[in-house]
Amino acid sequence: MSRQLIAGNWKMNGLTADARSLAQALQSGAGNGFGHADLLVCPPFTQISTVAGILTGTAITVGGQDCHMQAKGAHTGDISAPMLRDLGATHVILGHSERRQNHKEIDETVREKVLAARSACLIPIVCVGETEDQRSADGHEDVVGWQIKGSLPDGFADGEGVVAYEPVWAIGTGRTATEQDVAAMHAFIRAELVRQFGDAGHKTRILYGGSVNAKNAAGLLAVADVGGALVGGASLKAQDFFAIAAAASRG
């Protein structure tokens, strides 16, 4: 089985003291890794340098939560992919549902950001997923299919690009898709990746993100075509994050 990726999205949480404390706890527990799991944490922009400095030399890499489409310019308040790379980031989360909803990002915008990330030698983690209304209307596959087509540029599957399926209705709600739901959607995403990118689509890691925690991780990570997890709140506690990583090792 290929190595799974456990990615922690800290979202807008953590002042410097908080980030330093959590990073030190992660440093202490990282050891030599977790078997089949690659570990990644994505702090707020303001804490990437601090966290990356503490985690240097460990099995845990650091990423950003978004980037601009351009490498530089008059874009007040934004951060570019080269800036993330300069801070020590290796990955960047793009197209998260909270960006799509709160910042009105469309697939074409996400696509341009993916290209920017790749130009800066960052590995993009592109999020796709449906709302509760879209699933209730039996439109979840159409929604995710169009997001994949619109958000992933040519050659995405030839590199190390990652797709993360995040059912919007399960983010931060405590609700989790059933293992059957996850299996069905990940199989659909795999088929779409193969349809769009050919044989290379078989190699792309597909993460599951939606209220993943230490209790449900083992079952979710054992589902076919689940290549890891995009973890929200549980990644803010080192013990919980490592428990999820350990579940991946057993998956």
Task: List residues forming the annotated binding site for substrate.
Answer: 9-11, 172, 211, 232-233
Binding residues: 9-11, 172, 211, 232-233
Residue 160, classified by CB atoms within 10 Å of its CB into exposed (0-12), middle (13-18) or buried (19+), is middle
Alpha-carbon distance of 229 to 42, in angstroms, equals 13
Please tell me the distance from the alpha carbon of residue 143 to that of residue 141, in angstroms, as a whole number: 5
Active-site residue identified among 96, 130, 140, 186? 96
160 catalytic per annotation: no
User: Residues 98, 130, 166, 192: which is the catalytic one?
Assistant: 166
What tokens does 207 get?
A: 């993460």
Residue 108 bears catalytic tag: no
Q: Cα separations (Å) of 131 from 125, 128, 137?
A: 19, 10, 10
Handedness of CA 1, 170, 139, 125 (dihedral sign): negative
Structure-token pair, residue 57: 């030399």
CB 126 within 8 A of CB 162: yes
Tell me the catalytic residues.
Answer: 96, 166
